[in-house]
Structure 1
Amino acid sequence: MDIFGIKALLICALIFIPFEHLFAERPQKILRDGFAVDVIYLLFNSFIVKAAVVLMAAGVLGLAAMLVPQSITQAVGGQPVWLQVAEIILITDLGVYWAHRAFHKIPALWKFHAIHHGIKELDWLGAFHSHPVDIIVTKAISLMPVFFLGFSEASIAIFSIIYFWHTMLVHSNIRISFGPLKWLIASPQFHRWHHANQREAYDKNFAGQLPFLDVMFGTYNATGDKVPEKYGVDDPVPSTYFGQVGYPLQPRRQRSNPTASSTEAEG
């Protein structure tokens, strides 16, 4: 069994690397700074997160069997699969939105999330550059309602595939226009302006898949075709994998980052 997702890594590389070369948003080397570290993130996070999700699902399903009437789980799981997938996308992205926003607003959580924002050159592989605590907490918040309500295994599996590929797409260095669908489906342009280390991008575009959530909650950043000047954070994030994993546990230092800057500006 490919518990570390090596086959998935190779398939993703064979698809995204050529597209990023042909339709690049900005000039960038394939083996950019931090490429090797991101490969480690993909391999190890894949194993850690899978294990955490399996344990969480088992616990939630057991609890749901005791608390949720069978009529509800049967009704939810009995819907057409396409409708279940649409509902799962909405439910999970609401969870992602608020969890993501909390990781920006709460200083203790920001230290975990700063790892993801430390990427200075975005590409498909950067989608996996996240602290395990960041990923597990976000998945717990977003997926628990899905397991609790009794959505079918088939619908969850299809959602997982969609989410996996879409996450890589929004982080990719691909110039692509979604046209009028940009309000409905998150695009690389939408997510680049979440990663931009520029004041107008601070605390904007939190949704993972559904940009209209940011429109609803007042955090949407409309940028047209404008390209961010730079990515990354001002935090002193280490460059190595183990340094980054341990970074949130280090004593708090005086720091300058998007969350702090925007909070001060609002105050």
Structure 2
Amino acid sequence: MGDRFGLYQLLLTLVIFVPFERLFAARPQKIFRRGLLTDLAFLFLNGWLVVAGQIVIVTVAILVNQSILPSAVKQAIDDLPYWVQVPLVIVIGDLGIYWAHRILHVVPTMWHIHAVHHAVEELDWLAAVHAHPLDTMFLKAGSLFPLFALGFSTEAIGTYFLVYYWQSYLVHANVRLNYGPLRYVLVSPEFHHWHHSSETEARDKNFAAIFSFYDLLFGSLHLSKGRKPKTFGVDNPMPTSYLALLAYPFVIWASKHKRDDPSAPVVLSEVTANVRESAKGLQ
């Protein structure tokens, strides 16, 4: 039943976003763009890895809730009606996403995981799934752990999941939407497209997933009035196949370890060569 529901959800997403991008395209772009097959691999193959990580995250969070959280706090949250819990869950969840996302950018070791997501050079709705499983798990930990640890209801958290699901596809979609004055409150496609831009001025900006005011509050907001981002991606060469992208952070980490070892120095060109060789072998 769950697999069937997931398939129906995917088909509905496809039916909505493909014509949406045709009607309101931000940039000329083909439906069968470069990297489409790799994104489909991420879509269909990442799921079980992420679910396994999610089970661990939720289990630990529930243990924290049961063994550490004061009973008065648990009772206060449990007494909140659904319609109060939902906005609280979305606000708290997105704050967790903001900081987890920012860590993925500013901590070099974590960036090698997140770079897989930023490797997309032709942005559309399906780019939302182009992410390393470790990346997705870390972001889920940022949002899910505090929500389950605090003891919010599964119904409220499930509603947040649904909002986040559609929001992820929308903000990556190749559509020209900026929300006007509300762009400083809510994350729009324009807002997130700047996050993916390879232009220097936009780097390490716009981390929030739903509420852009978090970036305004923490000094990481970038919205260039009257301009749209023109190029996407990262500076260094990236693999293009699914398996090679899964291996990418591990290849980089291994190469850096060898480079830091005086008995086995490795220069930057060798790191790039290792990544390319790994990509060839896994394609």
The answer to whether the superposition gives a TM-score over 0.5 is yes
Equivalent residues of 1:92, 1:143 under 8 A apart: yes
What is the RMSD computed on CA atoms of the aligned residues? Answer: 1.7
Deviations 1:162-220 (Å, cap 9, x if unpaired)?
Answer: 00000110000011231222111100000000000001111111111111111111110
Aligned to 1:159: 160
Distance in 1 (alpha carbons) for counterparts of 2:86 and 2:236: 38
1:254 to 268, 279, 282: 268
Aligned to 2:36: 35
Aligned to 1:234: 235
Aligned to 2:88: 87
Question: For residue 158 of structure 2, what is the amino acid of its counterpart?
Answer: A
Equivalent residues of 1:3, 1:47 under 8 A apart: no
Q: In the TM superposition, what is the alpha-carbon distance from 1:67 to its structure 2 partner? A: 1.6
Aligned to 2:16: 15
Q: In the TM superposition, what is the alpha-carbon distance from 1:245 to its structure 2 partner? A: 0.3
Distance in 2 (alpha carbons) for counterparts of 1:177 and 1:228: 12
Equivalent residues of 1:115, 1:244 under 8 A apart: yes
Q: In the TM superposition, what is the alpha-carbon distance from 1:99 to its structure 2 partner? A: 1.4
Q: In the TM superposition, what is the alpha-carbon distance from 1:81 to its structure 2 partner? A: 1.8
Question: For residue 249 of structure 1, what is the amino acid of its counterpart?
Answer: F
Question: For residue 268 of structure 2, what is the amino acid of its counterpart?
Answer: Q
Q: Aligned pair count?
A: 255
Q: Gaps spanning 5+ residues in structure 2: where?
A: 257-266, 270-283
Relative distance call for 1:81 and 1:180 in structure 2 (3 A) is farther
Identity of aligned residues (%): 42
Question: For residue 115 of structure 1, what is the amino acid of its counterpart?
Answer: V
**1:130 corresponds to 2:131:** yes
Equivalent residues of 1:97, 1:208 under 8 A apart: yes
Bigger Rg over Cα: 2
Aligned to 2:199: 198
Distance in 1 (alpha carbons) for counterparts of 2:53 and 2:177: 34
Deviations 1:33-61 (Å, cap 9, x if unpaired)?
Answer: 11111111112222322232233212321
Deviations 1:213-252 (Å, cap 9, x if unpaired)?
Answer: 1111111012124111200111221000000000001124
Q: In the TM superposition, what is the alpha-carbon distance from 1:63 to its structure 2 partner? A: 2.9
Deviates more, 1:100-109 or 1:183-192: 100-109
Give the structure-2-normalised TM-score. 0.85
Deviations 1:72-118 (Å, cap 9, x if unpaired)?
Answer: 22321321223212111221222211111111111111111100000
Equivalent residues of 1:207, 1:213 under 8 A apart: yes
Equivalent residues of 1:77, 1:84 under 8 A apart: no
Equivalent residues of 1:95, 1:142 under 8 A apart: yes
Residue 142 of structure 2 aligns to a residue whose secondary structure is helix
Question: For residue 192 of structure 2, what is the amino acid of its counterpart?
Answer: H
Q: Gaps spanning 5+ residues in structure 1: where?
A: 256-267
Give the structure-1-normalised TM-score. 0.90
